[in-house]
Structure 1
Amino acid sequence: MDPVKPRLTVRDMCMAAVHAVRASWTADRRGVLTVVGLQLTTAVGLAGALLLLRGMVNDVMTSVDGSGTGVDLGRLIPGVIVLVALGAAGGILQMLSGVRQQILTDRVDRHVISLVLGTAAHTGLLEFEDPDFHDRLQRAVHASRRNPAMVVMMLVEMLQAALTVLAIAGVFITIAWWLLPLATLSALPLFKAAKDRRNAVYAMHHSLAENHRRRQYLEQLLTCRDEAKEIRALNLGATLHARWDTEYAQELTGMTRLIRTHAGREIRAKLLSSALILGVIASVWTLVNTGMVSLAAASTGLAGLWLLSSRIGSASQMLNSVGQTLYFFKDLHNFAAAGAEPPPALTEPASPFRTLRARGVTFTYPGAARPTLHGVDISLHQGEIIALVGANGSGKTTLAKILAGLYAPTGGTLVRDGDPATDLYQLRHGCAVVFQDFVRYKLTAHDNIAFGRIDDQPDDSRIGHAAEAAGVSALLESLPNGYHTVLGREFTDGTDLSGGQWQKLAIARAFYRDAPFVILDEPTAALDPQAEADLFARIRHLFAGRTVLLISHRFSSVRSADRIYVLDSGRVIEHGTHTELMRTQGRYAELFLTQAAGYLDAAPA
């Protein structure tokens, strides 16, 4: 079944235009006023030129009819000079308007792209699990990167066309008012065809949002450094390129079909519009021959009609090419309007908690058929090291994200020191997390650590202390530019780190955050055995007074925890100390002995 196409109305377009004007006004008020003023001046000059032309033609006709002799060209020279001067002034104004329009569009580009990035940055993590959110984000990014400048240019062109129409209409009222409704009638087929095409293009792009995201992902796989080694090791380049080409072909096929369909409609609309204008010209000629309209009035009116039809044709072409951008601007506005407010900047250190409990916590991902967590109960106390263990997919990382304030539970509650913990930002403020798939920021080593507490001014001494605690200070000091070395070979004078070195840097970021609650999700997965042993031997000392939640598949790392929770299919099935769990001979003992057996089998006889 085909997806329902979005319904687009004239009201939608008008509202999108209002949003575009507001964005332009916010981005560059002076630029908007300057462009409008220049366009208004140009339109007034055009009206003056038409009235002057009418007077000159009237003088010529009067001279010929009155004397029967030749026309005194000397009487026309002042008028010609004024017309040339008006033409030159109009050209200069158009040039100045073009320069100012470019500055305006650049500033609007910056404003709307910043709007999208800011909204995305402050959107809750759970939204990123929703495919519909990614479609809306894709359409907003498409609008911000390709269309804001086009929207501004289109609105300026529409303003210019509207002012020109008003100027010419003012002239028609004095010389041939009845031409105006006829000229307006000739524009209707062009604008109707433009509207139909605009709606069709928008509907097509609306349906291709996920196609665009798949293509962008394939482009990332084919062009990014981190993926390059595996793509070449598996010889996937040609396969991924072919898939990208297939995805692109879907859009091109749809666009080709759309263009062919609407090209025929636009040709018929143009022929009908031209036929109506020819009818106006024939009517004027008949009226001149019968003496009902003077030749001077008819000539000036037809000149104005030619200018008006030219403007109308230009406006319809403009709507054909970029009219749908107003609808994309609507997507951008809707995305930004739905975004969360940025969290307040908290510079005070987070206060430690005595207890943090999850009571009957349930969680279901958007679109999932069943919950990931089912009625989980867990307690964490100040100064304890608590471990979560279980098979892949048991819900350990999801539970950690809820305790860190990244997700709100869909059922149950979090209780902090006896009170419900509903402020997710406060939970995040008091938590430092090292994920297994931590981000490798291709910025300086200094930034990689300082990002741990971005609300504060970077403290070089604390950064050095955090690096030393994570066991990475000697490495960073040996880099070409020390802590200010860029960690990315794609950049000038940049370098790279090994997987274990990157992981130590992520741990240093957690140390620098200096939070009372620390979550370590497989914190030693990329470390060698000696580095792992050194870290865990010191972890209680390094995080003294803090609560540590440790997620690990390595049971040698968790056996010294104060309490161990075993998760299976989103439920806590066991908890206790290592000794207690081994004594019960349950799931934990089974997993521990299975892992230990692998090492015992490898030991020499």
Structure 2
Amino acid sequence: MGDRRTRALVSSAAFAVRLAWLADRRALVHVLVVQVLSAAGMTAALVVTQKVFGSVLAEGPAAAGRSPALVPGVIGVLVAGALFGALRLSGTARMAVLTVKVDRLVAGMVLEAAVAAELRRFEEPDFHDRLQRAVFASRRQPAQAVVLLVTAFQAALTVLAVGGAFAVMAWWLLPLVLLSAVPAVKAAGRQRGAYHDLHHDLSENRRLREYLERLLTGRDEAREIRALDLGHVLTGRWQDQYAREVESTERLLRSHARRRMAAQAVGGALTCLAVGVLWWLADSHLLPLSVAGAAVAGVWLLSVRINTFAGMLSGIGENLLRLTDLRAFTAPDEGAIPPPLMPRQKTVDEVPFGEFRAEKLCFTYPGTDTPAVRDVSLDLRPGQVVALVGVNGSGKTTLARLLAGLYPPDSGCLLLDGEPVTDLGAHRERTAVVFQDFTRYKLPAVDNIAFGRPRTAADPARVREAARQAGALEFLAELPDALDTPLGKEFTGGADLSGGQWQRLALARAFYRDAPLVILDEPTAALDAHAEDRLFTQLRRLFAGRTVVLISHRLRSVRNADRIYVLRGGQVVEQGDHVSLLRTGGHYADLFRTQADAYQTAGTT
């Protein structure tokens, strides 16, 4: 365990330096040069002090004020101190800029790794734990690691420099002074490892707290939290979860505080022993008083620097161990499907999209044993509208995600014109999906539509045409800044939309994407009955020439589909058009008559 953690520390230190080099190599070099010069200046100051002190003592107390070495030596030390002070200020300024650049670099790495992760990874609790630790590590941890490493580098140089000067004066005491730091270093290492283990154990606890914080502070959640008076309940749960971290931290600190205090006491005793030896040697005239005085100053300075360095190791080590979480999360996933090379998106006319077939698809969500989709096969042809129907939990949405290339199937395959679809990234580029739980981007309205084709600059004319096709242009034109209005009251000049208006924006994204395969998962759930009927009536015209997969729990909306696949328990149990399925009198007919009876009952009451 110790060797593995030591290797992890070394690797993380190299990783932190590499991050700083990538962020701003000139700033890093500047800071390191300043530290080297500062350490050299401290060594020179100690040597000059010893020389001046020895010269003054050699001429006697009466002639001390007239010593030719005193005034120049003092002036030289003061001038050098001023110069090195200015040098340190320049290093501090460059260090501040470097930390900001490292923060930006690392945060971008985490975001890119999260975006590159396959969708099914987001179903795994372990992935969310790793993501939480990576996000935690990215928040100034790398920048702090760089700062601490530079500070430790300076301290190490100072220890070496002062140790070198001290060795010239009393080399035989150097091992004793160095030995005084060993107990503190070992105690710090044990505490560092315990902190890292605790950090891992608290990952899910912190994720739960962050979720509770979003519930308590989010604008969208504020209405229901107040309507149900949930504030005190959720705050109480947040307090309970935080109390677990506080209790664990207190136990850890109590168990390690005694060890670190004992280590400090042993180190202090060894330092006192070194000073006592110097005092005895000077008193016995075995060591010149000037050398003994400078050596005592060196012992004190070296002891302080060594103990400071040992204290730093605890903070540095804890910080660097957290960087292992960052490295692990941002490292390429060898088992993941590589993203496409981001070519220019092609239009429908440029991408041939013929017969699309799903063959014996199976998929099980991580952490479950029951397949969500089992041996599903279906055919889709250009210009067709194919409907997927079934009760809640029958596998409709999961099947749609498989067809869209969002999940790789556990078994089975997708075929395009008889050829297996192996590049799911390229397949997604040719697919437009409107999810039932679509995302509401609280950004300008134009972005909400143009995100349908994010790799090209927004085309204002096409944005307006997509909004018109989705029936959104009229209400968008009435916003304060029309399409440039931020869609969120949290932002200056922002505006709110109704649920139905948001759904029209999601449809506009699909129109703007202009893809040959269109998957609509409950696309009218937030629309009123009249708007829903108009949309389904115009569906073929709006998506002419495209392959359309329609999911709807309102069976009257899918009556005109070319083919209807009926799912139950993740399997296709029936297929055909509306008339043939009613004639069969199976599961679809039962569902349709149940809904029809409900409408008739509602109309007579």
Structure 1 residue corresponding to 2:49, chosen from 47, 53, 63: 53
| TM-score of the two chains, using structure 2 as the length reference | 0.96
Structure 1 residue corresponding to 2:29, chosen from 23, 33, 55: 33
Q: Say yes or no: does 1:113 pair with 2:107.
A: yes
Separation in structure 1 between the aligned mates of residue 314 and residue 8 of structure 2, nearest angstrom: 17
Unmatched 5+ residue regions in structure 2?
A: none
Q: Say yes or no: does 1:343 pair with 2:340.
A: yes
Report the alpha carbon displacement of residue 353 of structure 1 after superposing the two structures with TM. 1.8
User: Which AA in structure 1 matches 2:155?
Assistant: A
Which residue number in structure 1 is paired with residue 6 of structure 2? 10
Listed as ranges, the matches of 1:203-242 within 5 Å are 203-242=197-236
Which residue number in structure 1 is paired with residue 527 of structure 2? 527
Instruction: Assess if the C-alpha contact under 8 Å between 1:360 and 1:377 holds in 2.
Output: yes
Q: Say yes or no: does 1:420 pair with 2:413.
A: no
Listed as ranges, the matches of 1:543-554 within 5 Å are 543-554=543-554
Instruction: Assess if the C-alpha contact under 8 Å between 1:563 and 1:575 holds in 2.
Output: yes
Separation in structure 2 between the aligned mates of residue 168 and residue 403 of structure 1, nearest angstrom: 69
Instruction: Assess if the C-alpha contact under 8 Å between 2:156 and 2:309 holds in 1.
Output: no
Instruction: Assess if the C-alpha contact under 8 Å between 1:8 and 1:199 holds in 2.
Output: no
Report the alpha carbon displacement of residue 600 of structure 1 after superposing the two structures with TM. 1.1
Instruction: Assess if the C-alpha contact under 8 Å between 1:464 and 1:473 holds in 2.
Output: yes
Moved more, 371-380 or 316-325: 316-325
Separation in structure 1 between the aligned mates of residue 13 and residue 219 of structure 2, nearest angstrom: 41
- 1:323-347 CA-to-partner distances (Å, cap 9, x unmatched) read 3111111110111013565532121
Moved more, 339-348 or 7-16: 339-348
Report the alpha carbon displacement of residue 7 of structure 1 after superposing the two structures with TM. 9.2
Give the secondary structure class of the aligned counterpart of 1:452. coil
Q: Say yes or no: does 1:130 pair with 2:124.
A: yes
Listed as ranges, the matches of 1:191-202 within 5 Å are 191-202=185-196
Q: Say yes or no: does 1:537 pair with 2:532.
A: no
Separation in structure 1 between the aligned mates of residue 55 and residue 330 of structure 2, nearest angstrom: 60
Listed as ranges, the matches of 1:201-600 within 5 Å are 201-321=195-315, 323-339=317-333, 342-347=339-344, 348-349=346-347, 351-600=351-600
- 1:243-300 CA-to-partner distances (Å, cap 9, x unmatched) read 0111111101111111222221111111110000011111222233344432222222
- 1:416-464 CA-to-partner distances (Å, cap 9, x unmatched) read 1111111110110000000000000000000000000011111111001
Report the alpha carbon displacement of residue 179 of structure 1 after superposing the two structures with TM. 2.6
Q: Say yes or no: does 1:88 pair with 2:82.
A: yes
Separation in structure 2 between the aligned mates of residue 483 and residue 596 of structure 1, nearest angstrom: 40
User: Which AA in structure 2 matches 1:439?
Assistant: T
Separation in structure 1 between the aligned mates of residue 119 and residue 132 of structure 2, nearest angstrom: 17
Runs of 4+ in 1 over 6 A off after TM superposition: none
Give the secondary structure class of the aligned counterpart of 2:451. helix
Structure 2 residue corresponding to 1:143, chosen from 133, 137, 141: 137
User: Which AA in structure 2 matches 1:514?
Assistant: D
Separation in structure 2 between the aligned mates of residue 520 and residue 212 of structure 1, nearest angstrom: 36
Which residue number in structure 1 is paired with residue 59 of structure 2? 63
Separation in structure 2 between the aligned mates of residue 120 and residue 457 of structure 1, nearest angstrom: 24
Separation in structure 2 between the aligned mates of residue 511 and residue 444 of structure 1, nearest angstrom: 18
Separation in structure 1 between the aligned mates of residue 207 and residue 480 of structure 2, nearest angstrom: 38
Separation in structure 2 between the aligned mates of residue 343 and residue 311 of structure 1, nearest angstrom: 52
Give the secondary structure class of the aligned counterpart of 1:453. coil
Report the alpha carbon displacement of residue 322 of structure 1 after superposing the two structures with TM. 5.1
Separation in structure 2 between the aligned mates of residue 604 and residue 523 of structure 1, nearest angstrom: 29
Instruction: Assess if the C-alpha contact under 8 Å between 1:179 and 1:301 holds in 2.
Output: no
Instruction: Assess if the C-alpha contact under 8 Å between 2:119 and 2:407 holds in 1.
Output: yes
1:7–1:516 distance in 2 versus 1, CA, 3 Å = farther
Separation in structure 2 between the aligned mates of residue 20 and residue 442 of structure 1, nearest angstrom: 35
Moved more, 363-372 or 43-52: 363-372
Q: Say yes or no: does 1:20 pair with 2:16.
A: yes
1:369–1:604 distance in 2 versus 1, CA, 3 Å = closer
Instruction: Assess if the C-alpha contact under 8 Å between 2:163 and 2:302 holds in 1.
Output: no
Report the alpha carbon displacement of residue 6 of structure 1 after superposing the two structures with TM. 11
Which residue number in structure 2 is paired with residue 102 of structure 1? 96
Moved more, 291-300 or 155-164: 291-300
Report the alpha carbon displacement of residue 312 of structure 1 after superposing the two structures with TM. 2.0
User: Which AA in structure 2 matches 1:580?
Assistant: S
Give the secondary structure class of the aligned counterpart of 1:354. coil
Give the secondary structure class of the aligned counterpart of 1:432. strand
What RMSD over aligned residues (CA atoms) do the two structures have, in Å? 1.6
Instruction: Assess if the C-alpha contact under 8 Å between 1:198 and 1:324 holds in 2.
Output: yes
Instruction: Assess if the C-alpha contact under 8 Å between 2:356 and 2:415 holds in 1.
Output: yes
Instruction: Assess if the C-alpha contact under 8 Å between 2:9 and 2:317 holds in 1.
Output: no
Report the alpha carbon displacement of residue 372 of structure 1 after superposing the two structures with TM. 1.3
How many residue pairs get aligned? The number is 598
Give the secondary structure class of the aligned counterpart of 2:178. helix
Unmatched 5+ residue regions in structure 1?
A: none
Separation in structure 2 between the aligned mates of residue 514 and residue 309 of structure 1, nearest angstrom: 71
Instruction: Assess if the C-alpha contact under 8 Å between 1:6 and 1:203 holds in 2.
Output: no
Report the alpha carbon displacement of residue 518 of structure 1 after superposing the two structures with TM. 0.3
Report the alpha carbon displacement of residue 315 of structure 1 after superposing the two structures with TM. 2.3
Separation in structure 1 between the aligned mates of residue 386 and residue 208 of structure 2, nearest angstrom: 40
User: Which AA in structure 1 matches 2:44?
Assistant: G
1:13–1:501 distance in 2 versus 1, CA, 3 Å = same
- 1:190-210 CA-to-partner distances (Å, cap 9, x unmatched) read 111111111111111111111
Give the secondary structure class of the aligned counterpart of 1:178. helix
Give the secondary structure class of the aligned counterpart of 2:487. coil
